[in-house]
Amino acid sequence: MDSLAAVSQDVVACRACPRLVAWREQVGEEKRAAYRDEDYWARPVPGFGDPAARLVVVGLAPAAHGANRTGRMFTGDRSGDFLYAALHRAGYANQPTSVSRDDGLELDGAWITAPVRCAPPANKPTTDERDRCRPFLDRELALLADASVFLVLGAFGYQGLAGYLGLRPRPAFGHGVEVPLADGRTILCSYHVSQQNTFTGKLTPAMLDAVLARARELTG
């Protein structure tokens, strides 16, 4: 039988996309000056969180010097700082920061994943790369049997999730958009927690808090 542990093992071992393999490993060798003494993960990044999660957060892909360095989703960069602080305020995380795989962070009722598991150049995976990675997301979501709310961060994650759920027609993406599904589950949409959005105020803490509060209402 499949398991989340088996999915994680298969994710970490994957070398299906030559462009992404080359980039993630190049970044891990060249490093950013601030992290020159660290060993980069430089492999695909598995999902993270509570296997009994009722909320599933779907991002885009690992950041080159964030999750690609630390080996955990949204860990070690400003996007993760923004997201985990919000999850902590909403009661889904035991602490507001996420800096490494062994920093004690635990999620309660939430799971974090992405349609693409390797850091892409310029943070832009191709559609073909997303499609090659899709079986991991399909398996993972099938195993998260208690999930009733999917929070997508950005349009790319929304498209990937809609493909898994067979959502047709697909309502246009926008922050705060809520998509009820025929089986009683719900998709919630938020702008991505990228620095481009959070530094410019396109996405504020209050905006993300409101979406997470709605997730709490829907999951009970």
Q: What is the pLDDT of residues 84-127, one digit of tens each?
A: 999 999 999 999 999 999 999 999 999 999 999 999 999 999 99
pLDDT of residue 164: 87
For the chain, the average pLDDT equals 96
Alpha helices in the chain (DSSP H): 4-13, 18-30, 67-70, 78-89, 127-143, 155-165, 195-198, 205-219
* CA 71 – CA 66 distance, rounded (Å): 8
Q: Are 71 and 43 in contact (CB under 8 A)?
A: yes
Burial code (b: 16+ CB inside 10 Å, e: under 16) for 141-158 equals bebbeebbbbbbbbebbb
- Categorize the per-residue pLDDT at 163 as very low, low, confident or very high, splitting at 50, 70 and 90: confident
pLDDT of residue 220: 84
Q: What percent of the chain is predicted at pLDDT more than 90?
A: 96
pTM > 0.85: yes or no: yes
Q: Are 19 and 121 in contact (CB under 8 A)?
A: yes
